[in-house]
Amino acid sequence: MMKIKTRTWSCLIALAAGLVLRPVGLMAGDSPAVTNEVKIDNFCFAPQTLTVPVGTTVTWVNKDDVPHTVTSDDQHFRSRALDTDDRFSFTFSTPGTNNYYCSVHPKMTGTVIVR
Amino acid sequence: MHGIIPGSAAAPAADGVLLAEILMGFALIGGAVLARRRRFRAHAACQSVVVLLNLVVIAGFMMPSFRRAVEPGIPAHLGRIYYWLATAHGVLGLAAELLALYILLAAGTALLPDWFRLVRYRLWMRATLVLWWLVLVLGCATYARWYLRFG
């Protein structure tokens, strides 16, 4: 009986603490997280078009079981062959439209728009 | 950009190489048939054209592609099927091409010294044809693994 009571109080305290702390957490994260990650899956870049502010670092992660690369049309950035779960990051420091493709599978294309 | 082979993510050049290699494999068999019919000049011309054309394809397309996409992954990722398939295809393919070039030089020219010439031509030619076809099958498997979508 005593054990049940203790557990009930523990739950109530935890619930109350959660209710108090949750708004604080919301205030700390004042805007939803910006997605700067491009997944490579099933021979596609997703999202295919990504718009980011200047200075953003975009990360590509290969979720396919085949190697892919991330190569910009103007060779401004170029990854090595990315194996499964490998990542490649690039920081966009100037505004513009950056078209890229996979050099192994050139039909795979994507765009990063920097504003 | 649309390739030659439907459902493939390969560049049109890779599709072209695959089709060319399959045609060359059958041309070599055709050349072997010519030899059995004792049409040796036609046999020599057919096999020579295929071997030299293949050399151009290897140097112009396969080697650069291998160096760009496969070489950075070996030996670290050799355990993964797409790397070991491509590596086995590359190593055995190079061996088949060198062997075929050696046979061309030994059988078709007087460039090699006597001690370096073949004795049992027929055996070496047949062995090279078998190796060539093994490489071709590995090449088709490599193409499927790298460029075709499954599931």
pLDDT per residue, tens digit, chain A (115 aa), is 444 444 444 434 443 444 344 343 334 444 445 569 999 998 999 999 999 999 999 999 999 988 999 999 998 999 988 988 999 999 999 999 999 999 999 989 999 999 9
Specify burial of residue A21 (Cβ count, 10 A radius: 0-12, 13-18, 19+).
exposed
Q: Where are the beta strands (DSSP E) in chain A?
A: 37-41, 44-46, 49-52, 56-62, 71-72, 87-92, 96-101, 109-114
Closest CA to A106 of B137, B151, B43, B8: B8
pLDDT given at position B114: 83
Residue B6 lies in a domain: no
The neighbouring-strand residues paired with A110 are A100
Of B1, B3, B73, the CB nearest to A67: B73
Q: Which residues contact A56 (CB under 8 A, 6 or more apart)?
A: A34, A36, A91, A92, A114
Sign of CA dihedral B136, B142, B145, B148: negative
Domain total of chain B: 1
Q: What mean pLDDT is predicted for residues B91-113?
A: 93
Give the confidence band of B33 by pLDDT, cuts at 50, 70, 90: very high
pLDDT given at position A39: 97
Minimal-distance CA residue of chain B relative to A81: B69
Beta carbons of B147 and A106 less than 8 Å apart: no
Report the C-alpha gap between B59 and B35 in whole angstroms: 28
Whether the full predicted model's pTM is greater than 0.90, yes or no, is no
The length of chain B is 151
pLDDT given at position A35: 64
Minimal-distance CA residue of chain A relative to B149: A42
Report the C-alpha gap between B109 and B89 in whole angstroms: 29
Minimal-distance CA residue of chain A relative to B3: A107
Closest CA to B144 of B103, B59, B85, B96: B85
Q: What mean pLDDT is predicted for residues B110-139?
A: 92
pLDDT given at position A110: 97
**Collapsed DSSP state (helix, strand, coil) of residue B148:** strand
A104: chain B residues, CB-CB within 8 Å: 68-69, 146
Own/partner pairs, A24-33, CB within 8 angstroms, 24+ separation: none
A83: chain B residues, CB-CB within 8 Å: 73, 77, 80
Residue B40 lies in a domain: yes
Residue B2 lies in a domain: no
Domain span at residue B91 reads 12-147
Beta carbons of B73 and A83 less than 8 Å apart: yes
Cis peptide, bond prior to residue A47, ω within 30 of zero: yes
DSSP state of A42: T
ipTM above 0.90, yes or no: no
Of A104, A106, A107, the CB nearest to B146: A104
Indicate the angle between helix axes B121-147 and B12-36, nearest 10 degrees. Answer: 160
Beta carbons of A83 and B9 less than 8 Å apart: no
